[in-house]
Amino acid sequence: MLRRWLSFFLCIALSVLSVLLGWLVPAHLRATDAHLLQKAGRNSPSLPELGKELLDEKRLGAAELVCSAAESLSLPGRQALESSITNVASQHPSWLIWGGGESELEVIFNRPKVPLSVSEPITDSMIRFENRATALGLFRASSRPLVHELLNTQSLTNTTVFPPSQSAAGQAFDAALCICAMLAEQNHFSPGLSNGIFTAASQATHGGSPQAIEEIYMDFLSLGQRLNWGQLVVFVGHVDDAETLRRLAFSMRRYQSRLPILYSAVALSSRPDEVGRYLMKFGQTGMDDLAAALRFHREGLNELLRRGERLYVPGPRSETLRSGLLKPFFDFALERSLETPEFAIGLKIFLYLFGGFLIAAALHVVRPPVQELEKPLQVGGLHVAREILFGLGFLTFVLLITEPFLSQETQRVDFPLRLRLPVVGAAVGKAVTGQQHMSMNKNLLMLGLFFVLQGLLYISCLVKLAEIRRQKVGPRMKLRLLENEEHLFDAGLYLGFVGTIISFIIVLLKAADLSLMAAYGSTSFGIIFVSVFKIFHLRPARRRLLLESETSSDTAMMVRTVHSTP
pLDDT tens digit sequence for 395-415? 999 999 999 988 666 555 454
Question: Is 494's pLDDT higher than 70?
Answer: yes
For residue 399, tell me if it sits in a domain: no
Contact 198, 464 (CB under 8 A): no
pLDDT at 408: 66
Q: Which H/E stretch holds residue 461?
A: helix 441-470
For residue 436, what are the β-bridge partners?
413
Q: How much is the pLDDT for 556? A: 55
Q: Let me know if residue 40 belongs to a domain.
A: no
Confidence of residue 427 (pLDDT cuts 50, 70, 90): very low
Report yes or no on 35 lying in a domain: no
Q: Does residue 360 form part of some domain? A: no
CA distance 499 to 494: 9
Quick check: 40 and 339 in contact, CB under 8 A? no
354 occurs within a structural domain: no
Residue pLDDT, tens place only, 429-469 = 444 444 444 445 678 888 889 999 999 999 999 999 999 99
Domain end among 312, 328, 358:
312
- How long, in residues, is the chain? 566
Q: From the centroid of its chain, how far is CA 106?
A: 44
413 found inside a domain: no
Question: Percent of the chain beyond pLDDT 90?
Answer: 64
Alpha-carbon gap, residue 7 to 149, rounded angstroms? 82
Q: How many CA atoms within 13 Å lie on the side-chain side of 509? A: 8
- What integer best gives the mean pLDDT of the chain? 87
557 inside domain: yes
Q: What's the rounded mean pLDDT across residues 80-109? A: 80
Which pLDDT belongs to residue 376? Answer: 75
Last residue of a domain, one of 312, 328, 349: 312
Which tops the pLDDT comparison, 229 or 380? Answer: 229
With bands split at pLDDT 50, 70 and 90, how would you rate the model's confidence at 373? confident
Start-to-end CA distance of the chain, whole Å, equals: 59
Looking at 312, 339, 364, the residue that finishes a domain is: 312
Phi, psi of 417 (to 5 degrees): -120, 135
Q: 308 and 452: one domain?
A: no
pLDDT on residue 98 = 81
| Tens of pLDDT, residues 40-77 | 999 999 999 999 999 999 999 999 999 999 999 999 99
| CB-CB neighbours of 246 under 10 Å | 17
- Average pLDDT over every residue of 360-371: 83
pLDDT at 423: 44
Let me know if residue 394 belongs to a domain. no
**Number of domains present in the structure of the chain:** 2
Q: For residue 413, which phi and psi values (nearest 5 degrees)?
A: -125, 125
Q: Which domain range does residue 495 map to?
A: 447-566
Confidence of residue 366 (pLDDT cuts 50, 70, 90): confident
